[in-house]
Amino acid sequence: MEVVLPADLRQDASVAKRRHADLCRQKRVFDARSRIIGGDTEAWNSQVHDQKIREATERARHETFATEMRQNDKITCILEDRERRDRKTLSRATNDFQQSFQRPETRREFDLSDPLSLKKALPARQSDNDIRNTISGMQKFMGEDLNFRERKKFQEEQNREWSLQQQRELERARAHQKCAEDLYLQTRLKFDETARHLQMLESNARRAVCAAVKEFNRNQAIESQERKKQEKKQEEEDNLAEISNLLHGDLLSENPQQAASSFGPHRVIPGRWKGMSREQLEQVHLTQKQQVLEKLRLQEEECQRDMDWDQRRIQKAREDLMYERQMQRHQRDLRRALDSSNRSLARQQCLQKKHMDEVSTNQLTGDYFTQFNTSSR
């Protein structure tokens, strides 16, 4: 029986640990995606764990909501049952109350549908003074009462009294009307006398007012004539002064200073300006000639500048073309030298390969190339 020592166990554990680490390293090295793109596996695992926790929390919250909804549904059912029982109890109590205190015979319109109404009804007419004998009942008409004679005698006496009372009222009304007419006549005479007196006072006052108005109008007419004479005289004097001012003023004398504006010496008043003087016209013509000469000079300078720039562009393009051709010749020489060097190297490699084939007896096979990338070291 073989005895296992602690040192052997530690060595086996160390070997297993190194082998596990080597396998993990091979997995990382030989995994092209992880080696090229890279990734934080721990972070991804943490995100997955957090996502699972969030899903579990959301699931627990939904379950809680579902439990509350079930509880609310139960409470709603209980309340609906209680309301249904309360409604049934109230309906039963209402029916009992109607049966006990609201019977048909206690209603106000029960006599319309009472089956014993004919037995309980009274005769249509018991006497002439029966309160049930209304006009719409048509149980008693004029002249068909039982005390017709007494009523007729009473009506005659009443008509006689009414006639006497009407006569007395008519005589009294005639007396009152006569008194009123006398009073109206006296009042009318008094009003006529007062109106005649007022009319006479009014005519006297109107004559006085007319005389005063006529005198006032005469005075106003005299004052108006005097004022018109003064205005006409003043207007004639003003016209003479205006004519004199125009004759001796700057407008007709064409003084250039009268067109000067208060906004500056280079501005004029269009309504007073009479045109430029000869000196100003000569100055304008001289300035125009100078501007024309200056413009010609600037055009010549611009043409000369354009010609210089054209010559520079042509010279620059020629130099660039010569430089490009020189670079092409240089590149062609370099390519020729490189081709010559590559041919010499190819000949040397061919000679070296022939020599190695002749000297070496161990030829390379496919197994030699498959041994690479089999370990992480």
Q: Give the Å distances, CA to CA, from 306 to 97, 296, 302.
A: 122, 15, 6
Cα(59)–Cα(84) distance, integer angstroms: 37
pLDDT score, position 170: 92
Does residue 71 fall inside a structural domain? yes
Does residue 131 fall inside a structural domain? no
Cα(356)–Cα(253) distance, integer angstroms: 127
**How does 274-313 read in b/e, with b if 16+ C-beta sit within 10 Å?**
eeeeeeeeeeeeeeeeeeeeeeeeeeeeeeeeeeeeeeee
Please count the structural domains in the chain.
Answer: 1
pLDDT score, position 1: 46
* Bridge partners for 260 per DSSP: 268
Does residue 83 fall inside a structural domain? yes
Q: Residue 338 has which token pair?
A: 């490189």
Q: Which domain holds residue 59?
A: 8-99
Does residue 344 fall inside a structural domain? no
Does residue 106 fall inside a structural domain? no
Does residue 133 fall inside a structural domain? no
pLDDT score, position 322: 92
**Residue-level pLDDT, tens digit, the chain, 377 residues:** 455 566 677 888 888 888 888 888 887 777 766 666 666 667 777 888 889 998 999 999 999 999 999 999 999 999 999 999 999 999 999 998 888 887 877 777 777 777 887 777 776 667 767 777 776 767 776 666 667 788 888 888 999 999 999 999 999 999 999 998 988 888 888 888 888 888 888 888 888 888 888 888 888 888 888 888 888 988 888 888 888 777 666 556 566 666 666 676 667 666 666 667 778 788 888 999 999 999 999 999 999 999 999 999 999 999 999 999 999 999 999 999 999 999 999 999 888 888 777 776 666 677 777 777 766 56
Does residue 233 fall inside a structural domain? no
Cα(196)–Cα(201) distance, integer angstroms: 9
User: 145, 151 in Cβ contact below 8 A?
Assistant: yes
Does residue 172 fall inside a structural domain? no
Kindly report the pTM of this predicted structure: 0.25
Cα(97)–Cα(264) distance, integer angstroms: 112
